[in-house]
């Protein structure tokens, strides 16, 4: 992966191309990066907060639930969209891979960072809403970049695994849609872990996204440092997964040219 640093300019170009191509010909252009997450958030908040009357334990107002939900949903939405796009990044760029001599890792990497821009926009919207509803966040907001770096490591690991795996097993991108639907509801995003019966909470502890979203919520919603039993396991798991993904990609990419 150290050789990838030599291509950081090319990665920046691919990221810029991905972002601009999303909204080419669109009247509002990049503003859709703000409009889309806002509309999605409003729909979920109306369904859960107004229609189903979901509230946080000990709370009665809808705004606490709205901020709690958004603090988990925004990182989740960026994670899901990144993995879905990155899983097809090698297949969709097969022309480059077969004809141009540069590392194929560039494509899942650029897909990961292009979606990261949308996460930054979403977090900016969240902090603005938090400022309006709750005032100035605590000083622990300064540790937010740590959560983002951990998300990049974890997401990029899956991007490398799945993009290379999809070359050999083309059903992977299609399977991910159903998987993410299950994964979303298995993750405490629209509910808290305390709402789950005690006998089933161990299932949540096996879910890596639970730990990542708790890190975000501790920093931007609760205004505190994440607990060690949250941040340490996720950090260790993400780093090990990242190392494994690099090894897996390096072992599988020699076959890309033949299969693509």
pLDDT, tens digit, 9 for 90 and up, residues 190-249: 999 988 988 889 999 999 999 999 999 999 999 999 999 999 999 999 999 999 999 999
In this prediction, residue 99 carries a pLDDT of 73
Tokens of 105: 């890792």
Average pLDDT over residues 118-122: 85
**How large is the average pLDDT for residues 166-193?**
93
Q: Is the pLDDT of residue 50 over 90?
A: no
3-state DSSP of the chain: CHHHHHHHHHHHHHHHHHHHHHCCCCCCHHHHHHHHHHHHHHHHHHHHHHHCCCCCCCCCCHHHHHHHHHHHHHHHHHHHHHHHHHCCHHHHCHHHHHHCCCCCCHHHHHHHHHHHHHHHHHHHHHHHHHHHHHCCCCHHHHHHHHHHHHHHHHHHHHHHHHHHHHHHCCCHHHHHHHHHHHHHHCCCCCCCHHHCCHHHHHHHHCCHHHHHHHHHHHHHHHCCCCCHHHHHHHHHHHHHHHHHHHHHHHHHHHHHHHHC
Residue 146 has pLDDT above 60, yes or no: yes
What residues have CB less than 8 Å from 47, skipping those under 6 apart? none
Which tens digits make up the pLDDT trace of 220-235?
999 999 999 999 999 9
Cα–Cα nearest to 256, from 156, 154, 166: 166
pLDDT of residue 152: 96
């Amino acid at each position: 992966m150290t050789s990838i640093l030599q291509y950081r300019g090319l990665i920046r170009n691919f990221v810029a191309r991905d972002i601009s191509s999303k909204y080419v010909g669109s009247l509002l252009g990049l503003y859709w990066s703000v409009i889309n997450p806002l509309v999605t958030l409003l729909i979920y908040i109306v369904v859960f907060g107004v229609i189903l009357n979901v509230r946080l334990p000990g709370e009665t107002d809808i705004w606490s639930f709205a901020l709690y939900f958004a603090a988990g949903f925004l990182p989740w939405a960026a994670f899901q969209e990144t993995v879905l796009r990155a899983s097809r990044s090698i297949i969709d760029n097969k022309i480059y891979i077969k004809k141009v001599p540069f590392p194929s890792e560039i494509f899942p990497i650029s897909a990961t960072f292009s979606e990261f821009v949308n996460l930054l926009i979403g977090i900016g919207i969240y902090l603005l809403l938090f400022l309006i509803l709750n005032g100035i966040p605590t000083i622990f907001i300064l540790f937010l970049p740590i959560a983002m770096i951990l998300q990049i490591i974890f997401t990029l690991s899956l991007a490398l695994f799945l993009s290379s795996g999809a070359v050999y097993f083309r059903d992977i991108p299609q399977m991910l849609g159903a998987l993410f639907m299950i994964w979303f509801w298995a993750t405490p995003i629209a509910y808290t872990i305390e709402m789950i019966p005690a006998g089933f909470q161990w299932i949540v502890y096996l879910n890596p996204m639970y730990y990542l979203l708790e890190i975000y919520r501790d920093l931007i919603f609760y205004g505190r440092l994440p607990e060690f039993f949250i941040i340490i396991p996720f950090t260790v798991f993400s780093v090990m997964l990242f190392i494994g993904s690099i090894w897996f990609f390096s072992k599988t990419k020699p076959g890309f040219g033949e299969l693509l």
